[in-house]
Chains A and B, each alone.
Chain A
Amino acid sequence: MENAYLLGRFEAAAGFLPEHLRGKVNALPLRAKLQAEEFRLRLERPLFVTYFWGEETISGTKITENDLETVLNIVSGSSVHTVLDQLKRGFVALRGGHRLGVCGTAVMERGEIGTLKDFSSLCLRIAKEYRNVATPVIPMVCRDGEMLNTLILSAPGGGKTTLLRDMIRRLSNGENCVTKRVGLVDERGEIAGIWNGRATLDVGARTDVMDRVSKGKGIQFLLKGLNPQLIALDEVTEEEDLEGMKQAVGCGVTLLATAHAGDFRDFTRRKLYKSVLNEEIFERFVEISNFGGNREYHVLNGAGERLC
């Protein structure tokens, strides 16, 4: 990927930091800037930058309450009420597809998080669009050019969303496969980088994005109104998501989803996914492994046998 692009993403994300911290991260060496994945701000701790190999501190920094509030002011344009709904869900989608994760004291209302106060940590995730990572994967998850129900597996931060986004873009544009009308349930607005209703990351020309909705409800919404040929969703974590997926398959819609699991064996051990395996919903699994920052993709069939 072009260095200029990565540098631009880094600088855009750094733009959400308070001025004095922005100065510190902008002074990092070029290599660090290109490989940075997150900025982590924890109250009364130094600023951390996350790389694929771990977190590193920025010396001479100590995060204050004022810093945390300044970040929130910057992302909300000093209008916290515009992001309160997102704060309740633990993250704020930012301009350019970046994402701010928040942590603090939850104020419970009727058994649910009503709002957050006394913020203690913020995680600013740098959105990067890696094009063409799906090139070797697409032919393996298609049969006669038709996409098969596919589940992408990897540990957190392994590159699931990146692969998913590129696959959606290719399927939607009909690159190396039959063109599909894609319905994307983007619960956190992260896949398409939704900001003010617009997709800021390329998810293809024939993709309809339903964002800020639980995956189960989003699937039902898309099925009722938009007649998708393929439904894509990120991080299947709840029973409701699985029910929605089963409903979609029942309607003849192809599925493309991701799940947290180190590999296929790890996936089969998860109680939540037993029904998915028993009903043989997925015909392809893609495992992502990370070797020193280089990602490798392995495609498995429904029985877990490696195809490549």
Chain B
Amino acid sequence: MLKTIGAAFVLIGTVFGGYSNVLRLKKREKQLRDLAEALEKIQAELTFHAPPLARIFGGMMGVYPGEIGGFFGEWAGTLGGAAGGEAGVIGGQLTQTWFSLLTEEEQSVLHPLFFTLGRYDIEVQKNALEEAKVHLNRYAQKAAEDRLRLSRVYMVLSVALGVMVVLVCL
């Protein structure tokens, strides 16, 4: 009886590990899609209202309660007194904090944007947003493919690993 319970725990543990990886893939894809969507919203705000960035970013907190909102909210708080290109540097640092699921390459497509937002006229900012958005959408597409491909692999491997451990131990 004890052995059966132990085996069940081992199996649940390995399946949970596999499922966590699947969730991570899902979350990464969602983060990329949401980020691209957020950039589109910023682009629209700049086109139609052109308010200060802090106000746009503040609005993002309401629309995206998770990491995206947190990122823009924290960045908005640093904007007022930022020296020269400091806002861009801060944006880059916050990316690492809030978007740890994204690879370095994925994070790096945002950096030129951080050094453009708020420092040039609307057209230049919109172009930078468009470029970052194109890259993010491409990464999101790749992330979706990775999720489809790897989700099954992770699940099969986690179940197989659990069964193997159970068999070895029993």
> Is B truly associated with A?
yes
Take A81-B46, A115-B121 as given contacts and tell me if A69 and B54 are in contact as well, using a CB distance cutoff of 8 Å. Answer: no
> Which residue of A is nearest B119, CB measured?
A80
Instruction: Check: A77 CB closer than 8 A to any chain B CB.
Output: yes
Q: How many residues of B contact A (CB 8 A)?
A: 20
Distance of A73 Cα from B83 Cα, bound (Å):
7
Residues of chain A within 8 A of B87, CB atoms compared: 73, 78
* Contact (Cβ within 8 A) A78 B125: no
* Contact (Cβ within 8 A) B118 A78: yes
CB within 8 Å of A: which of B39-80? 46, 50-54, 79-80
Residues of chain B within 8 A of A82, CB atoms compared: 50-52
- Could you tell me the distance in whole angstroms from the C-beta of B50 to the nearest C-beta in chain A? 6
Residues of chain A within 8 A of B83, CB atoms compared: 18, 66, 69-70, 73
Residues of chain A within 8 A of B125, CB atoms compared: 81
Distance of A81 Cα from B120 Cα, bound (Å):
6
Q: How many residues of A contact B (CB 8 A)?
A: 17
* Contact (Cβ within 8 A) B54 A79: yes
Residues of chain A within 8 A of B120, CB atoms compared: 80-81
- Chain B CB within 10 Å, residue with most, of A66, A77, A78, A81: A78
B interface footprint on A14-25 (CB within 8 Å = 1, 0 otherwise): 000011000000
Residues of chain B within 8 A of A44, CB atoms compared: none
- Could you tell me the distance in whole angstroms from the C-beta of A286 to the nearest C-beta in chain B? 40
Distance of A18 Cα from B80 Cα, bound (Å):
11
Residues of chain B within 8 A of A70, CB atoms compared: 81-84
Point out the residue from B79, B84, B121 that lies within 8 Å of A84, measured CB to CB.
B121
Take A73-B87, A84-B121, A115-B121 as given contacts and tell me if A79 and B52 are in contact as well, using a CB distance cutoff of 8 Å. Answer: yes
* Contact (Cβ within 8 A) A65 B122: no
The secondary structure that dominates the A interface is helix
The secondary structure that dominates the B interface is loop
> Which residue of A is nearest B50, CB measured?
A81
Instruction: Check: A179 CB closer than 8 A to any chain B CB.
Output: no
* Contact (Cβ within 8 A) A73 B121: no
* Contact (Cβ within 8 A) B81 A81: no
Instruction: Check: A214 CB closer than 8 A to any chain B CB.
Output: no
* Contact (Cβ within 8 A) A80 B118: yes
Distance of A77 Cα from B80 Cα, bound (Å):
4
B interface footprint on A123-156 (CB within 8 Å = 1, 0 otherwise): 0000000000000000000000000000000000
CB within 8 Å of B: which of A198-253? none
Instruction: Check: A120 CB closer than 8 A to any chain B CB.
Output: no
Residues of chain B within 8 A of A76, CB atoms compared: 52, 118
Point out the residue from B51, B53, B80, B122 that lies within 8 Å of A74, measured CB to CB.
B80
* Contact (Cβ within 8 A) A77 B84: no
Residues of chain A within 8 A of B84, CB atoms compared: 65-66, 69-70, 73
Distance of A77 Cα from B51 Cα, bound (Å):
10
Residues of chain B within 8 A of A65, CB atoms compared: 84
> Which residue of B is nearest A77, CB measured?
B52
A residues lining the B interface (CB < 8 Å) = 18-19, 65-66, 69-70, 73-74, 76-82, 84, 115
* 29 A-B residue pairs with CB within 8 Å: A18-B83, A65-B84, A69-B83, A69-B84, A70-B82, A70-B83, A73-B79, A73-B81, A73-B82, A73-B83, A73-B87, A77-B52, A77-B53, A77-B54, A77-B80, A78-B52, A78-B53, A78-B54, A78-B119, A79-B52, A79-B118, A80-B119, A81-B46, A81-B50, A81-B118, A81-B121, A81-B125, A82-B52, A115-B121
The 8 A-B residue pairs with the shortest CB-CB distance in the complex, in nearest-first order: A78-B79, A79-B52, A66-B84, A77-B52, A69-B84, A70-B83, A78-B118, A79-B53
